Chain A
Amino acid sequence: MSTRVGGRRLTPYLLVGPGVAWLGVFFLVPLWNLFVMSLSTKRSRYDFDPAFRWDWSNYGDVFGAYGTQLGRSFLFAGVATLACLVIGYPMAYWVVVHGGRFRAALVGLVIVPFFTSFLLRTISWTVLLADESVIVRALRATGVLAVLRTVGWIDGDRLLDTPVAVVGGLTYNFLPFMVLPLYVSLERIDLRLLDACGDLYASGWSAFRRVVLPLSLPGVFAGSLLTFIPATGDFVNAYFLGGTSSRMIGNVVQDRFLVQLDQPGAAAISFLLMAVITVAVLVYARVLGTEELTS
């Protein structure tokens, strides 16, 4: 009898055990190693056993040297997240309201690009955005390139190898991460609420602003985090679609780690990035209101 009670008490811990063990071994231990590395010093370039000595100067050094790329990463990822929201929200909304029995299939279509490798999808953009491609010619003819040039987002008469192309690639690659959470939160809204709004003489806009939007905020929150965080650390888009001044912090980490063999520096950048993202997310959660997360 008593053993059964004891067993039942243990059940939750047993259930959570594998997850904790997994995170402990494959997340916390490497994270700790990374932290130790970020405070270590190499005696020389080919010293492969950096000595731990609370070397906080690594942080100052990399921040001084790569502050530009860090700021640029947040800017690019921020703009891409906003663009994903602007493109993704109407998509998700339309599927929920008008999708009918095709909803599942339509949402499935959003995931279809994932069947192709991330790398190939990005490389294919270099073809779409080539200087003489149909798309770029059309944008040139309609004056869009001229406008982009006037606002200073591109220089020269091209899209490929510019910051605009990088942000475009990020937006395209991470759009599904925005659409899916939005869809889930919009789908849970009882559509009869819209009828009720109408009965109470609310205009379509105010029904959206005062009822639908607030109810979908958890989706907006989840979607923007799922988009923003990986986009910040991305290095593939900047590598293939960027030019001489559009490298992101992910490219810097790769260069520090694999080319310069500067493991402490690479670790410090990674930690710095994590710290800034954590703070940004906390602020964001505060602004959107954390209780929305649990609703």
Chain B
Amino acid sequence: MTLHTSRRRFLGGLAAVAAGGVFAPSLLTACGNDAVGGRRLRVATWPIYIDVEPEGEATLDLFEKATGIPVDWNEDINDNLEYFAKIQPTLSAGKTIRADIITPTYWLVPRLADLGWLEPLPIDAIPNAKNLLPGLQRPTWDPEGRWSLPWQTGTTGIAYNRKATGGKEIRSMDDLFHPDLAGKVGFLTEMRDTLGLLMLADGKNPETASVADAERAIERLRKAKSDGQIRKFTGNDYQDELTKGSFAACVAWSGDIAQLALENPDLAYVVPDEGGMKWADAMVIPKGTTDLDAVAKFMDFVYDPTNAARITASVQYISPVQGVREALRAAGGDGAALADSTALFPDAATEKRLYTFRSLSEDEESRLSEAFSKLTGS
């Protein structure tokens, strides 16, 4: 199995460049799909999020062969909020951005939909959408399945470095507050991941919890911060801190640690006993896209298990498509080994312990986000 660079890992550090987004809106001027000669499908997504080899037989090449539609695959998204800030001036002015499909993280979907910036899915033209895993049908962020189809998914839990914990295995979020780990604990600046796990530790379900529950989680963090328990709030760069041992334990994303543990066997990832978070990056269609037929053809293509399995073998996130496991086995080679990975195919018991963060109203979002960033950004 070749070691690939996962997307979130590749991002380490890039969050800091987010300010670049300030200057970017001018680049995204209005432009119809037919402006540049011929028919093309434009996808804006995260870096390293599809297979590119072997040349001529990668997913996008095969799609073009099958449909005659070439794809402009643009790795434009580095950070959800940064990307949101980038497309906001164009979309709020009622113009169209240069993309037919974008893949923000799930919680951004209802926000985009509420703002009227999305086209509904042409679901009737996507027969393969029936392959969507049952657990992802009608999710909290898109209860009617009207706007989005997941691209890849993953989980958020705890990563730890056995060398730095003194051999202690971590099982629960409460372990992160143990005095033994004082000054060696990290939390993500991604609000929903951090607060979701803390609410679960508090016995609350993040899919139904109240704002007060979330505020209690913030309060717990505030106390831990002033006690010197927390070393740092990080974005994707938590991986460096963890491998170096600056963090003994921290909130982390599953795919990253699976990769890192190959090089460093002291690292481990666990979905906390009380429950973990699951996330999805979802394909949505920005308002004003004219070629919905091309969009539907593409979504249908990547929801075919064989094509989905090819993507999974390369990017190694949890696929939202049923039948990928079987397709991987059938394909044989390196891919077949992946079919037995519990990181890619969580067992039913783990699946039951995974939650998403419920959609927040504008006021709730404002309140929580302000309080959280006051805590992490001071």
Chain A residues with a Cβ under 8 A of chain B: 44-46, 48-49, 65, 68-69, 119, 123, 126-127, 130-132, 155-156, 158, 160-161, 235-236, 239-240, 242-245, 247, 251-252, 254-255, 257-261
Contacts and interface: CB of A to CB of B under 8 A. Distances in A.
A286 B225 CA distance: 42
B246 A161 contact: yes
B365 interface: yes
Contacts of A45: 362-363, 365-366
Contacts of A251: 377
B348 interface: no
A132 B88 CA distance: 44
Contacts of B111: 46
Contacts of B376: 244
A258 B245 CA distance: 31
Interface in B341-362: 362
Interface residues of B, number: 40
A243 to B, nearest CB: 5
Contacts of A258: 18-19, 21-22, 81-82, 85
Nearest to B89: A48
A243 B373 contact: no
Given A44-B362, A127-B244, 5 more contacts: A158-B246, A244-B232, A244-B233, A255-B377, A258-B18
Contact of A123 (B13, B19, B114): B13
B120 interface: no
Contacts of B55: none
B369 A243 contact: no
B92 A131 contact: no
Contacts of B15: 239
A247 B377 contact: yes
A245 B228 CA distance: 10
Interface in B1-42: 13, 15-19, 21-22
A259 B362 contact: no
A131 B246 contact: yes
B231 interface: yes
Max chain B Cβ within 10 angstroms of own Cβ: one of A45, A130, A257 = A45
A227 to B, nearest CB: 20
Nearest to A120: B13
Contacts of B245: 130-132
Contacts of B377: 247, 251-252, 255
Interface string B213-255: 0000000000001001011110001001000111000000000
B370 interface: yes
B369 to A, nearest CB: 6
A259 B225 CA distance: 21
Most buried by B among A127, A131, A251, A259: A259
B115 interface: yes
B22 A243 contact: no
B115 A46 contact: yes
B232 A161 contact: yes
A131 B244 contact: yes
A294 B370 CA distance: 48
B183 interface: yes
A126 B238 CA distance: 12
A259 B232 contact: no
A104 B128 CA distance: 67
A48 B13 contact: no
A244 to B, nearest CB: 5
A251 B18 CA distance: 11
B378 A68 contact: yes
5 contacts: A236-B16, A239-B15, A244-B378, A258-B18, A260-B369
B237 A240 contact: yes
B92 A260 contact: no
A158 B244 CA distance: 13
A46 B230 CA distance: 32
